[in-house]
Amino acid sequence: MRRFIAIADGFSVALAVALAVVLLFRLAICVPRLDPLAVLLGLTLGFFVADVASGLVHWLCDTYFDPRTPLLGTVFIAPFREHHVDPGALARHGFLERNGNNCLVSVPLLLIGISRLEPDAVTQPADVVAAGLFVAASLTLCVTNQIHAWAHGANTPKPIRVLQRAGILITPERHARHHRGDRAYAVVSGWSNALLDRVLARTEVLLAAFGAKPSGSGAQA
Ligand SMILES: [Zn+2]
Ligand SMILES: [Zn+2]
């Protein structure tokens, strides 16, 4: 099983890197004739959407589902639960193991981003914003777990520490709140945590009313 997961991680990362290269190449061709404000707005929205997505997935996998479920639980749920038992393991994992799952789920978004950057498809400002959104969201989601590892101080390169101090990427101090059991599930920038904290607390109450009981301890690790 471990060998299968390692091969799948390597394939996912290689595929995502190849698609990211195509995406960036198309972006470079399109950008000179696009409205820079619309591009900036789209990229910022996409970066925010990636933060929200990181928080939602993290909350779901920390709180619900069974990590012992064959394949799905082993591959997607167990790593989130293990992270609360041994947060330092994220830094000890190899690059492919750390980023394989995220690259896999980002593939459809990368493909949408590439299709959005067809030379004739981006003509209206709304098209430009949408294209920028998919570009930033797909690329950011590929490296979400890497950003999370840097929030644990894992061999953080100096440029990343600069981005953390600028508030663009989540800092170890802000992510530590999650490991103290105080929600804060988003791990990209953390910009959405204030909103997600409130929405997810209410969602848990609503789901409990329909019989959905948490299987994990959420952030209470
Ligand atoms: Zn963490
Ligand atoms: Zn967690």
For all residues of the chain together, what is the average pLDDT?
Answer: 91
Domain span at residue 143?
A: 2-209
CA 57 to centroid of ligand 1, rounded, Å: 13
CA 148 to centroid of ligand 1, rounded, Å: 6
Residue 220: inside a domain, yes or no? no
CA 163 to centroid of ligand 2, rounded, Å: 22
List pLDDT tens digits, range 29-57.
988 888 999 999 999 999 999 999 999 99
CA 149 to centroid of ligand 1, rounded, Å: 7
CA 192 to centroid of ligand 2, rounded, Å: 15
List pLDDT tens digits, range 111-144.
999 998 887 777 788 989 999 999 999 999 999 9
How many domains, in total, are found in the chain?
Answer: 1
* pLDDT for the residue 219: 44
pLDDT band at 218 (very low <50, low <70, confident <90, very high): low
Residue 203: inside a domain, yes or no? yes
Q: Does pLDDT of 220 surpass 50?
A: no
Residue 216: inside a domain, yes or no? no
Residue 102: inside a domain, yes or no? yes
Buried-state track 93-105, b at ≥16 Cβ within 10 A, e below 16: beebbbbbbbbbb
Global pTM?
0.90
CA 181 to centroid of ligand 2, rounded, Å: 9
Residue 218: inside a domain, yes or no? no
- Tell me the mean pLDDT in the region 140-153: 94
Report which of 170, 173, 19, 13 is spatially closest to residue 93, judged by C-alpha positions: 13
pLDDT band at 154 (very low <50, low <70, confident <90, very high): low
